[in-house]
A and B are shown apart, each in its own frame.
Chain A
Amino acid sequence: MTDDLFAQFRAIQRRASEMWAALQNGLQPLIYLGTASCGCAAGALDTLCAIQETLQELSRPAHILQVGCIGPCYLEPLMDVQLPGLPRISYPKVNPEKAKRILRAALMEGDLSPKLAVGHFGDENFTRQSGIPRFFDLPMLKPQVRVILRNCGLIDPREIDHYLAHEGYVGFIRALQKGPLGVIEEVKRSGLRGRGGAGFPTYKKWEICRAASGDRKYVICNADEGDPGAFMNRSLLEGDPHAVLEGMLIAGFAVGAQQGFVYVRAEYPLAVARLRHAIQQMRQYGFLGENIFGTGFRFDIEVKEGAGAFVCGEETALIASLEGERGMPRPRPPYPAERGYCGQPTLINNTETFGILPNILRKGGEWFSQLGSPGNTGTKTFSLVGKARYTGLIEVPLGMTLRQIVFDIGGGTVRPFKAVQTGGPLGGCLSAAHLDTPVDYENMRASGSIMGSGGLIVLDESTCIVDLARYFLTFSREESCGKCTPCRIGTRILVETLEKIARGEGEREDLDVLYKVADTMQRTALCGGGQTAPNPVLSTLKYFMNEYLTHIQGRYCPASVCTALFEYRILAEKCTGCGRCIRVCPNGAVRGEKKEPHSLNVELCVKCRACVEACKFDAIVGVPTGSRQPQEVTL
């Protein structure tokens, strides 16, 4: 049986590899375009039209590969050109005109426009030859280790053959050979911990689910990526859906499940489309069905769309939602691994956990455990966003410090660095003093934040800490399911108190209220959501108390965010009278003659910050309301 299985799979694999090789070594140029949601937002679809038009105009045939996000979203839309016999060359921020220019030069004259290129995928020789650096040597990419994202941006996610040509489903075949217990043993050896954020050892969950008795077992992929500011799961599902689905297959085989669900956020329509397409292909190729490769293993996967509720990222709430109820959590135990969907044993893992599994089976648990640090093995993806210079999706070994992530990979900030927010609305804010903290489950928790699912939001001096805490608690208030009182009422009181401080009506006693309510919530809320919802308040009180006090006692918001606590002033000595601020002001609050210092009417100003962003001379500053001499104010 094993031999047949092998032969059948080998044949599929060989065909796919030949197809890929023909594409890579063919006589037609290849054009890669990142058309994940982030690329499309930056205008990749317009670029795609321009590419198609240009090819038609030049009557040059070429293959266009629509790939997922390769990581550096700040360079989107990214278009890559690979001429026959030459490595792939990447061009950043390609609008339709630029696409036409690059393609004309490359296809008609063989001119690679090295000045426009950002990197190539070839070897050192080509760097010397062309003067273009290697793409993966860029400062943002060099410190990264790509395991989970190994195919993102390199293959067309709609082609199962592309995935197969890159050792796709090899992990699953190994799993079939090892048997369920062998698979769990391999996962145990890898040291893999749940990537949803809690860090529970993956193999333990699997053992519990495997041992649990039930008529039918389920595997659920939690792709309800609800943390605002996080998009790792979206990128993986859009860029390499088969990796996640293969992980589900392996898990289903290991725990003895017959049915899998992918629970995806409704806000991710492209991810849903990619998954549905991929599942269709899996059925065609025999990776899903009644008797997979003649082994007797039966498995199918269905996509379920979430309907917009943050709390559904909590596993028991997710199950309630799948059952057609309000997505409210219930107390654990029993854990879903024992009694979950429809009362049956249900294995729930995060999207990224599933995405890692094929790699562990393919290259061995031992190999995976060498990555990262002891106890925190492997790599983790993060969405590095906010005020960092280089924003995008990154993957690093666990244990790398925040400083390396923010400054080496993210390139630091333009304005002075203030804090980094991790773990989403249930996480915390860490100050510059924590930059040398290794990013792993234990150290992040010890420093007052959490690792969470992987959102890293870099903040600079233009971010107000009080406003940020208010923002997260407002989010938690809106998303509180309302079942337990500490969370429902607690988030409300926290928001009202923070709003009071932001309005400039705060008093010292309000800080006691914040502490007291946060403490009650931590001790008494029903689910992890409610217990950790006060984290943004507590961590900011801990590390940025001064800023709270400036709001309360100084009645001033130093970041110029809380609109009641500052007003804008134009510094006459810095203003050159260029008129940029006048043009962007939506309210006509700025006036002035050309080349004369402008003036700003505080009565008309809505504090939208447009002028500050537009000014190239830092001439517009926030000062305490009613102050006459902006320069003298120091708080």
Chain B
Amino acid sequence: MDHPAFSQLLQEDCDRSHLVPLLQRIQQLEGYISEQSVRQIARLLKISENHIYGVASFYSQFRFHKPGKHHLKVCLGTACHVQGGAHLAREIQKQLNLRSGETTPDGSIDYEEVACLGCCAQAAVVVIDGVIHAKMTPDRLLKKIDQLRGQQSTFSEAETQSLLAPTSA
């Protein structure tokens, strides 16, 4: 089965300089880079799978496992660091027993530490399902996490739908 991203790109003149944008498009559609998609890219661009993993794993953006329903990111930029970003990260690691890049066993929340989101004047910031929350403190963050756990799939189902929509269309 060919992914829509491929069929679209097949029509374009593709060379290896399209590798990064192609990976980005796949991840946007599927949420992660699957083994199958790597095989397809390899065929399309006539490069080895090994090379693709080499490039993809170099960049922090790409993930190789299915993401959780909710996405939790903590900014660890300098401004966030001096305003207590590390405390937030530590709190999450403790509460959810997760390290950066991991997903809870039930697949509800995945967690990522990012370098800087450029909202430094609002430090410390966290991003929950794409929404940036400013001036975060450990106790407010815990409440947010509880909310995420409470409403396991209200927001995320809609989000999953929107992710899947282009595939089914």
Question: Among residues 13 to 71 in chain B, which have CB atoms less than 8 Å away from a CB atom of chain A?
Answer: 15-21, 23-24, 54-55, 58-62
Residues on A with beta carbons closer than 8 Å to the beta carbon of B82: 386-387, 457, 459, 463, 468
Question: Among residues 470 to 510 in chain A, which have CB atoms less than 8 Å away from a CB atom of chain B?
Answer: 471-472, 475, 479, 481
Residues on A with beta carbons closer than 8 Å to the beta carbon of B80: 228
Is A268 part of the binding interface, using a Cβ–Cβ cutoff of 8 Å? yes
Cα distance A37–B81 in the bound complex, in angstroms: 19
CB A426 to nearest CB in B, in angstroms, measures 12
Residues on A with beta carbons closer than 8 Å to the beta carbon of B114: 267
Closest to B135 in A: A42
Contact B55 A230 (CB under 8 A): no
Contact A307 B24 (CB under 8 A): yes
CB A481 to nearest CB in B, in angstroms, measures 8
Question: Among residues 301 to 347 in chain A, which have CB atoms less than 8 Å away from a CB atom of chain B?
Answer: 304-310, 321-327, 342
Is B98 part of the binding interface, using a Cβ–Cβ cutoff of 8 Å? no
Cα distance A489–B137 in the bound complex, in angstroms: 35
Cα distance A255–B84 in the bound complex, in angstroms: 46
Residue in A76, A231, A384, A586 whose beta carbon sits within 8 Å of that of B118 in the complex: A231
Residues on B with beta carbons closer than 8 Å to the beta carbon of A387: 82
Contact B24 A73 (CB under 8 A): no
Residues on A with beta carbons closer than 8 Å to the beta carbon of B91: 586, 608
Contact A309 B58 (CB under 8 A): yes
Contact B17 A322 (CB under 8 A): yes
Contact B61 A228 (CB under 8 A): no
Provided the pairs A37-B132, A305-B21 are in contact, do residues A231 and B78 lie with their beta carbons within 8 angstroms? no
Contact B79 A386 (CB under 8 A): yes
Is A83 part of the binding interface, using a Cβ–Cβ cutoff of 8 Å? no
Q: Which of B3-11, B120-128, B147-155, B156-164 contacts A (4 or more CB under 8 A)?
A: B120-128
Contact B17 A383 (CB under 8 A): no
Contact B78 A229 (CB under 8 A): yes
A-B pairs under 8 A by CB, number: 161
CB A262 to nearest CB in B, in angstroms, measures 13
Is A385 part of the binding interface, using a Cβ–Cβ cutoff of 8 Å? yes
| A interface footprint on B111-147 (CB within 8 Å = 1, 0 otherwise) | 0001111111111010000001110011100100000
Contact B122 A41 (CB under 8 A): yes
CB A307 to nearest CB in B, in angstroms, measures 4
Residue in B23, B77, B122 whose beta carbon sits within 8 Å of that of A38 in the complex: B122
Question: Among residues 41 to 78 in chain A, which have CB atoms less than 8 Å away from a CB atom of chain B?
Answer: 41-43, 73-74, 76
Cα distance A73–B137 in the bound complex, in angstroms: 19
Cα distance A457–B114 in the bound complex, in angstroms: 18
Residues on B with beta carbons closer than 8 Å to the beta carbon of A610: 87, 137-139
Question: Among residues 593 to 634 in chain A, which have CB atoms less than 8 Å away from a CB atom of chain B?
Answer: 606, 608-610, 613
- Chain A residues with a Cβ under 8 A of chain B: 37-38, 40-43, 73-74, 76, 225-231, 234-235, 265-268, 304-310, 321-327, 342, 383-387, 391-393, 421, 424-425, 455, 457, 459, 463, 468, 471-472, 475, 479, 481, 583-586, 606, 608-610, 613
Give 17 A-B contacts (CB < 8 Å), ordered by A residue: A37-B119, A41-B133, A76-B122, A228-B116, A307-B20, A309-B58, A323-B16, A324-B18, A326-B58, A385-B78, A468-B82, A471-B78, A585-B139, A608-B90, A609-B87, A610-B138, A613-B84
Closest 4 CB pairs of A and B: A73-B121, A229-B78, A228-B77, A307-B59
With contacts A385-B123, A610-B139 known, what are 11 further pairs, Cβ within 8 A? Answer: A37-B118, A41-B122, A226-B116, A228-B115, A307-B24, A324-B16, A386-B83, A421-B78, A457-B78, A468-B81, A608-B90
